Structure 1
Amino acid sequence: MPNDWEAKTIPNHLGSHLSYLPGNIGFVNNDFAQITTRRHCVRSDNEALTDSNTRETPCQAGEKTKYSSGRLESKPIVDAGKPFRAEIRAKINWNGLVGMRTALWMRNSETLQNCSNNPATNDPYGELDILEWYSTAQAYAWSSSHASCFFSRKRNTWRTRVFAHRLEHRPGGMATSLAYDWHVWAIEFDGQKVRYYLDGKLIPVSHYTADDNTTVDVIDRTRFDESGGYPSTMPDEDFAKLNVNRQMLDQVFRAKGPWYFILNEYVEWEPNLSPPSPTDPFPVQTTWIDYVRLYQKN
């Protein structure tokens, strides 16, 4: 593994049934990095997740269902104070179940801790989701730009001001799953706007959220684009829509850097994200990473 990347160890991620283990990162023919996700059946929360308790079949009575996956993180290597482009070539080998998610993303050095604990805060948190692929919507590429956080009094939790991008994969005018084939996911930041691409095609904005009372859908459902999908009225982001001032944006992109890459999978645990049933078989899932390329202007 390159010296500027690390396979993380995160037990019970966010208090869930999913743990990230370095052993779930491997290489295929010394060529592709492989992220592996699998089920474990354990007798207690303290039992280590190992090869010996891996199980594709449902866990038995008296056993707890847990999952392990891999999470690769780079060192802080992206100076978001300057224009950049990043490309990730990846292939999702889906196991056929609901509740699976692959994420290829970036973060700045700010955490959400203050925003979570202090309703008056407005931290310069930054997150750039190059891809979030949900197995419940196999043909859709989701990307998003998160710029600063706020405490939602409606939800009694933190939220981010965000542009959500969406593109339905419709080669030949037919919706087609993004799993099982190689695709190149890309992000560009020109110093003003963030743009996302799937195999060279722009992923336009779907909606944006500025605060508790402002979520605006910008999809035009009265017509179709050249591939047969609904077009967006905001192909490029307009940060003025998020009510984030220029000073805050400078903090998000420039002061809270450099940024780093994260490549990982999720086994969903929140009910609204349709987690897999513990009573169904759970075949191993993998995601292959061919390369991560970064182009940075001096």
Structure 2
Amino acid sequence: MHLSSLALSITRCAAAGTLALALAWAPMTTLSTPAQAATTAATQVTPKGPTFNETAKSVYIPSDQGVRYYITVDGANITKEGLPYAKPGTYTEADGLKAGVPITVTAKSAGSSTVLVGTTHWETTFRKAPSYDLSRGDDFNDPSELPSDQWNVYTTRASSLGANGNTIYTANNVSVKDGNLEIRTERHCLSGSQEPSAETVSPGGAVCPSGTRTAYTSGRINTSFIYNAPFRMDVRARMSDDVVDGLHFAAWLRNDQPYCTQAGVEKSTLAELDTMEVFSQHSYTTNTSHITCTKQPNGGAGTKRDAHRMDTQIAGAWHEFSMTWDGYAIRYFLDGQPVPSSWGQTPETTAATLGMSDEEFQSALNDRPYQAIIDSLAFAQDTTWINPPKADQPFPARVDKVDYIHMTPLENIHPVGAIDGKWKQNSWLGAPTAPETDAGPVGARVQTFEHGAVYWSAATGAHTVKGAIQGAYDSRGGASGALGLPTTDENQLKGGASQSFQGGQIHWSPSTGAHVDRGAIQAYWAQRGWEKGWLGYPTGDEITGLASGGASQTFQGGTLFWDARTGAVHEVHGGVLGTYGRHGYESGRLGYPTTDEIRLRGGVSQVFNNGEIHWSPSTGAHATYGAIQDYWQRNGWQDGWLGYPTGEETPTSDGGVRQSFQHGEVTWYRDRPLKAVRR
């Protein structure tokens, strides 16, 4: 007989209390309900579930026996290695995750032997950061709660803190709200290897209980190395209210070179510019420039630096912090006012103030790109130069705010070439105030400084212009005007100074000011001894556009007139000049002078186009013309019986013209003979 199955049953007889054993042969059969079969054959499993990381924009899928996870984004199944499900591991945007859209994770049984209980569906939406360019800074006006994705949000872990470290940077402490970047600093009480989370926040900033570690979360963001010097940085910011020890808030720039505190770095062309650096417990702003470094035996920063400080309210107050690096000097400003040096130096930081060569200073600041950094922190407990936060006192959460950070490229104003050489030879010029630019003639260049300017061309070389002469030069069009470029530096003269230009000269004295002289008038003046002659210094510029295209110029000792028709220049002064003026100068009846003053016995005379002027001490200066002058001439001029004229021609009642002399009168009539009368 073939045995196909054996069934054994044991039955307890309740009434008799005996056991009955029955052995029977029968075909194998499972006698159970569907529910009983599922319960006895399947294992119940509670899925571990995914871990969503908002900061990293990632999803972690755990290794979970009997469970398959499925990630769905925008209807697409996110997998790796071609699997139909999400294998254990971390999934990021590189794998297809997206910010700003729902991400769902569903857990399913890996087979019929597993029954899932508990939560099997999870969903989250990562916040999507706006994307915009930071090359000119950031106004933080995007409606998103996140800064631009061009900012890197720096993060650290509690496990990386040293024994005395205090600050852990997290993305959750950085946000944008109401047009401001906000950095939140708050206290956490950590146990063991705990990382900060919502559960570890100290309620109201209370003192942490015994057995926990006091730590602080805060925020830090930085751009990539996208800024090239020279530049200006402006930051409007507000440190949180109330004064608390150990809190630091900063906005600063650094180039891409390492610090000498790093292992293996002995020297570096590091440059760090602290545009805003404030401390809650200090009522002043501080600004420091760190330019290059050398490793120190004590582990110090080893940077060449100087410091600047200005007293002001810090906690709870809005301020604009500014820094300019223009290629010559670093300058710091608070609300538009220069921040003075803390070490008694000039307000600006230069190669000289740091004791560096100009070349080393320029190279460190200009040769490498910069990044901008904004951060808040609580100082480590072993900080000695400033009080760290007091762990035994409450620490309510604090929010530091930044309204904007603006980056503005600047032109490099550091002198170069021949202008640089001239500048270094003339320290009195002071700091450059603008970059080198074109000047007048093609190829010419000019650069301005605190106390003057330097002009250069291949034809004239490099020359300085300063003071009153520079003012006169600039007011007359500078290199683009009639004077052209300077051909000498300023020359010191007795009682004044002069400078030569392509189109003339400028002479200056304290009493006369600075005036231009040129051309025929200048040549006449030069022949008579320049400023050392009896004409002295010019008291006015040349006046052009006079009658028949002529010109004139006043000097201390008289006035020079130039007749364009003849090219002749003659001087008029004293009493003769006064009478000449009353007769209308060159525009009057006399016209231009044709001689200089002529000395006579007992007086002087001067000849003009249409008459003469005679002067003596007793008679003064008077003009003579035409027929009356002809009669006087025939009768010996001033040496004749008439003597010097004592008055001007005047009309008579009978239609004549009369002029008086020392010893008589001469009357001219149009229709009758001239009449002379002795006195």
* Equivalence for 1:212: none
Matched, 1:158 2:301: yes
* Equivalence for 1:65: 214
> 5 Å matches for 1:83-162?
83-113=230-260, 116-117=262-263, 121-137=266-282, 139-153=283-297, 155-162=298-305
Whether the aligned pair in 1 keeps the contact of 2:243 and 2:281 (CA below 8 Å) is no
C-alpha distance in 2, partners of 1:74/1:39? 27
Q: When the two structures are superposed, what TM-score results if normalisation uses the length of structure 1?
A: 0.81
C-alpha distance in 2, partners of 1:99/1:88? 22
* Equivalence for 2:319: 183
* Equivalence for 1:33: 181
By how many angstroms is 1:11 displaced?
A: 2.9
Whether the aligned pair in 2 keeps the contact of 1:95 and 1:282 (CA below 8 Å) is no
Structure number with the bigger relative contact order (C-alpha 8 A, sep ≥ 6) is 1
* Equivalence for 1:10: 156
Q: 1:78 aligned to 227, 231, 244, which one?
A: 227
* Equivalence for 1:294: 407
Whether the aligned pair in 2 keeps the contact of 1:95 and 1:283 (CA below 8 Å) is no
The amino acid of 1:272's aligned partner reads W
C-alpha distance in 1, partners of 2:359/2:393? 50
C-alpha distance in 1, partners of 2:161/2:365? 25
1:117/1:6 CA distance change after superposition, 3 Å: closer
**C-alpha distance after superposition, 1:100-140 (max 9, x if no partner):** 11111111001115x54458x32101100012111221x20
The amino acid of 2:274's aligned partner reads D
Q: 2:398 aligned to 279, 285, 289, which one?
A: 285
Where does structure 1 lack aligned partners over 5 or more consecutive residues?
Answer: 170-176, 208-217, 219-232
1:180/1:158 CA distance change after superposition, 3 Å: closer
Whether the aligned pair in 2 keeps the contact of 1:147 and 1:162 (CA below 8 Å) is yes
Whether the aligned pair in 1 keeps the contact of 2:250 and 2:376 (CA below 8 Å) is yes
Matched, 1:253 2:253: no
C-alpha distance in 2, partners of 1:297/1:105? 17
C-alpha distance in 2, partners of 1:271/1:76? 32
Q: 1:52 aligned to 195, 199, 204, which one?
A: 199
1:116/1:4 CA distance change after superposition, 3 Å: closer
SS in 1 for 2:392: coil
Whether the aligned pair in 2 keeps the contact of 1:37 and 1:68 (CA below 8 Å) is yes
Q: 1:43 aligned to 188, 191, 195, which one?
A: 191
* Equivalence for 1:268: 379
The amino acid of 2:256's aligned partner reads S
Whether the aligned pair in 1 keeps the contact of 2:236 and 2:320 (CA below 8 Å) is yes
1:251/1:33 CA distance change after superposition, 3 Å: same
By how many angstroms is 1:3 displaced?
A: 3.3
The amino acid of 2:354's aligned partner reads L
RMSD: 1.9
C-alpha distance in 1, partners of 2:263/2:195? 31
The amino acid of 1:69's aligned partner reads S
Matched, 1:241 2:353: yes
* Equivalence for 1:205: 341
Matched, 1:23 2:172: yes
By how many angstroms is 1:51 displaced?
A: 1.5
**Percent identity of equivalent pairs:** 26
Moved more, 178-187 or 191-200: 178-187
* Equivalence for 1:227: none
The amino acid of 2:182's aligned partner reads Q
**C-alpha distance after superposition, 1:30-83 (max 9, x if no partner):** x21100001100102x31111111111011111111111000111222101xx3
The amino acid of 2:376's aligned partner reads E
Whether the aligned pair in 2 keeps the contact of 1:95 and 1:285 (CA below 8 Å) is no
By how many angstroms is 1:276 displaced?
A: 1.3
The amino acid of 1:288's aligned partner reads K
**C-alpha distance after superposition, 1:117-169 (max 9, x if no partner):** 458x32101100012111221x201001100012334x443321101111112
By how many angstroms is 1:14 displaced?
A: 6.9
C-alpha distance in 1, partners of 2:148/2:228? 19
* Equivalence for 2:20: none
